[in-house]
Amino acid sequence: MESNIVETLRSFFAQYPTKEFKKGELLIRASANIPGVFFIENGVIRRYFLSENGEEITLNLYKPHTFLPMSWAIADVPNTHFYEAMTHVTARLAPKEHVLKFLQKEPDVVYDLLRRIYIGMEGLWMHIESLTAGNSYTKLIASLVVLAKRFGEKNAHSLVINLKMSEKDIANYAGMSRETASRELQKLKKEGIVSFDKSILTVHNMQELENRLLQ
């Protein structure tokens, strides 16, 4: 996101109250009333739903300078998902009507929002394709590719995904059991493609990781 867009968003949301959420705390519950539009200043928010057997299936992760939930705000789509603080989160909470009026006056912000939606959709399609057509190995790889592209921070020749994710978090995102995710992750670790230490996942060879999806 360009710095001028970030400053425009920060300036607008600065007039609204700050909300603090501890890791694991819910901002929005499925089918509950939504208090307004959240603008993430710091931290990461996880969006998930509960499967029929009660398992949490992660749909998306939102990082700073994102505002949500926009399907509800723009199109009045009922919310059926949970939004949970994956880390400590600091957010601003603005009334939906104020946010919509703001967007109508800020075409650059709307364009940036649309651009990010389409980028996110490409990652979502990859994720869905792997979940429906791939085996557990390709499911995990596709999930790691999406995470690395969205949250990876360059460190020499590696990408560090500094989200403090547990193996259970990775499994929820990949749509598999923790045991299966751990087994498939171990294969990638043995090959030196990734490493996982103290909840920090590092991708050492992004090109090879992407190549695995084509095999």
Per-position pLDDT tens, the chain of length 215: 688 999 999 999 999 999 999 999 999 999 899 999 999 999 999 999 988 888 888 888 898 999 999 999 999 999 999 999 999 999 999 999 999 999 999 999 999 999 888 877 777 776 676 666 668 888 888 888 888 888 888 887 899 987 888 888 888 888 888 899 999 999 999 999 999 887 889 999 988 888 887 66
Element (H, E) at 30: none
Residue 140's domain comprises 135-212
Distance CA 185, CA 179 (A): 10
Is residue 13 situated within a structural domain? yes
Are 7 and 40 members of one domain?
Answer: yes
pTM metric for this prediction: 0.79
Q: Are residues 75 and 143 in the same domain?
A: no
In a domain, 125, yes or no: no
88-121 per-residue burial string, b: 16 or more CB within 10 A, e: under 16 = ebebbebebeebeebbeebeebeebbeeeeeeee
> For position 146, what pLDDT does the model report?
84
Domain final position from 115, 147, 170: 115
Tokens of 192: 């030196």
Is the same domain home to 105 and 22? yes
Task: Give the integer Cα–Cα distance in Å for 20 and 42.
Answer: 10
Catalogue the long-range contacts made by 207-214 (C-beta closer than 8 Å, 24 or more residues apart): 209/141, 209/144, 209/145, 209/148, 210/145, 212/137, 212/138, 212/141, 213/126, 213/130, 213/138, 213/141, 213/142, 213/145
Which of 62, 86, 115 terminates a domain? The answer is 115
What are the structure tokens assigned to 138, written together?
Answer: 């390709």
- Same domain? For 28 and 86 the reply is yes
